Amino acid sequence: MIDFLFPTEGMGSQTLRTVAEAAYGGGDVFEISRVCRGIEVGDKDGFERAWIEKAEETEERAKKAEAAGHFRTAMNYYYAANQYWRMSDVLLTIERNDDKRQRFLKSQQCFQAGAKFNDPKIEVIKVPCGDEVYEGYFCHPRNPKTEKWPAVLFLGGADAFAEEIYFGGSELCERGYAMLLVDTPGRGSSMYVKNIPTRSDYEVPGKACFDYLFSRPEVDPDRVALMGISMAGYYAPRVAAFEDRIKALIAWCGCYSILDDLYLHYEHLQPTCQRLLGGVTDEEAKELLKDFTMEGIAQNIKVPTIMTHGSMDKLMDVEGARKLFNEIGAEDKTLHIFDDPKVGGTVHCAHDCWAHQMPMLMDWLEDHV
């Protein structure tokens, strides 16, 4: 059985991530537990089969509920199926990119099938950036307190896509913020459908996303923030260093150098990084990732910033977060390192501690934007 409460390997870590998101509508903790009960640690084929079976079963439940006119039930099942399809592909290697693409599309279709019943509204949108077009969602706030809405661009990490991170950011909408989710380079539909690899100069796609956000007549241009999770603990600070229109930055796992803090720190993520860079070799990845750094850039971040990390994060080196924090130029900056296993949050993205981390970040945001 996979231990997702105290994970020591990739299967457990990926499952813990889904458990955290289940608390915000992305599946059911008990169903996830029952799936894990039937999987032996290290059995990648069994892991894949189990999640495909659960995804198919859940999607069928969603379709039956929709046909019967039970749209709220259908929405919940579609959202769960979206997550379970994602789980079925998280261990696939680059040699199985076609399978990964098909699983992504199944996941995306389920999310969009559920989103049409969501209240508040979720719009499917596109963001142009030069010759590229990124897909995403503009999520309306619930019961906005002002005529013009505060808004947050929420960026996901290495293998995250817009449909998944909705569940990590939906609390924003519950608190009256509009949320923009975009599959920027190296992520989601941009990677798996359009073959748009990631890039070091994330300020370019970041600017395109903010251009879209500021074009929305509902958005208050004086109350816009940026949040990034996991590998986007590099992407988001990089964008913030070049973007003078935002009022606050949340780095949910700070990262100074993708090469040092992630690629060389956790070898199991190296194949994922090679894929995100366009299917390169290990040596090519090491060369390309030299440019994925905040050196000489971090001091340009002047907006209020909060950064979190876990002291026992195996995926991203906590020392990178400390280094990034020290070099950030903002006067108003906070670094919170989760270091007490009894409280939780010491693991990657504090997935075992969202009950405490989520309100901490949201309260900070409300105080600043």
The predicted-structure confidence for 309-352, as pLDDT tens digits, reads as follows: 999 999 999 999 999 999 999 999 999 999 998 889 999 999 99
pLDDT at 159: 83
Question: What is the domain extent for residue 20?
Answer: 1-118
Is 309 found in the same domain as 267? yes
pLDDT at 97: 87
In this structure, which amino acid lies at residue 49? R
- In angstroms, the CA 205 to CA 62 distance is 35
pLDDT at 13: 82
Of the residues 118, 133, 162, which one is the last residue of a structural domain? 118
Determine whether 105 is exposed, middle or buried from the number of CB atoms within 10 Å of its CB (0-12, 13-18, 19+): middle
Query: pLDDT tens digit string along 254-283?
Result: 999 999 999 999 998 999 999 999 999 999
Average pLDDT across each block of 10 residues of the chain; the chain has 369 residues. List them in order. Answer: 63 88 96 91 92 98 98 98 96 88 97 98 98 98 95 94 97 98 97 96 98 98 98 98 98 97 95 95 98 98 98 96 98 97 92 94 98
Q: Is the pTM of this model over 0.95?
A: yes
Tokens 């501690």 label which residue? Answer: 353
Nearest to 365 by CA among 177, 230, 101: 177
Is 242 found in the same domain as 199? yes
CATH of the domain at 74: 1.20.1440.110
Of the residues 118, 136, 170, which one is the last residue of a structural domain? 118
Is 154 found in the same domain as 277? yes
Pair type for strands 132-139 and 122-129: antiparallel
- In angstroms, the CA 162 to CA 146 distance is 26
Q: How many domains are contained in the chain? A: 2
Contact 170, 244 (CB under 8 A): no
Nearest to 127 by CA among 66, 65, 188, 42: 188
Tokens 């390192």 label which residue? Answer: 337
Nearest to 182 by CA among 136, 243, 231: 136
Helix (H, G, I), strand (E, B) or coil at 280: coil
Is 154 found in the same domain as 22? no
